[in-house]
Amino acid sequence: MNQRFILRMVFAGLCGAVYSVQGQTVPRIADVQSIIVADSAEPHEVDRRVPLRYPLAERRAGIEAEFITVFVLDTTGRVEMPSVSLVGTVPRAFWQEVCRYLSRMQITPIRRNGQPRRALVVNPFSFALDGGELGRRPRETGEAVRKSILADGVAQAAIAFEPLPHCQ
């Protein structure tokens, strides 16, 4: 293992996943020690004025998609966009739409003991067509991903999310 790879892994372990901005390495998920994992059943209201749009070309072609996203929700209810990771494989148009959607979304912050907290949220997305295959089977909940994060910890999860596709 080369020294640069080792240093990057140590940095990721301390600070979360990393990405490059104008040639400088910065954490994709910063300050992992302050992040809690949101409960899957925890209610969170979303701003319904921001529509999630089915990509037109994919709709016309009859392509459906279902996948999990993991992201950090800040204390004001905004998604920390560099933290958004895609768990799974889907056509790019669906992923781009979810990035657009999350960048405009306002969500009720996750609270613990009455205080808003930065929280790692596991959120499924489904683009299903009327009469399509996805409508005939149970929806993905993301619970397996959430349980893995709880078992391994946020810092380890941040390292695991490093190579996954993410919003730019």
Q: Tell me the per-residue pLDDT of 32-48, one tens digit each, with 9 for 90 and over.
A: 888 999 987 776 777 77
| Mean pLDDT within 87-91 | 90
* Structure confidence at residue 43 (pLDDT): 64
Buried-exposed string 64-82: b where 16+ CB fall within 10 A, e elsewhere: bbbbbbbbbbbeebbbbeb
Counting the structural domains of the chain, the total is 1
Q: Is 4 inside a domain boundary? A: no
* Structure confidence at residue 17 (pLDDT): 41
What percentage of the chain exceeds 70 in pLDDT?
83
Q: Is 10 inside a domain boundary? A: no
Q: Is 156 inside a domain boundary? A: yes
* Structure confidence at residue 15 (pLDDT): 36
Q: Is 23 inside a domain boundary? A: no
Higher pLDDT, 35 or 31: 35
Task: Find the CATH number of the domain harbouring 79.
Answer: 3.30.2420.10
Q: Is 7 inside a domain boundary? A: no
Domain region containing 56: 31-161
Q: Which of 35-39, 68-72, 115-119, 164-168 has the lowest mean pLDDT?
A: 164-168
Q: Is 1 inside a domain boundary? A: no
CA pseudo-torsion sign 66, 71, 73, 79:
negative
Q: Is 87 inside a domain boundary? A: yes
Q: Is 166 inside a domain boundary? A: no
pLDDT per residue as tens digits for the range 10-28: 333 333 344 444 555 566 7
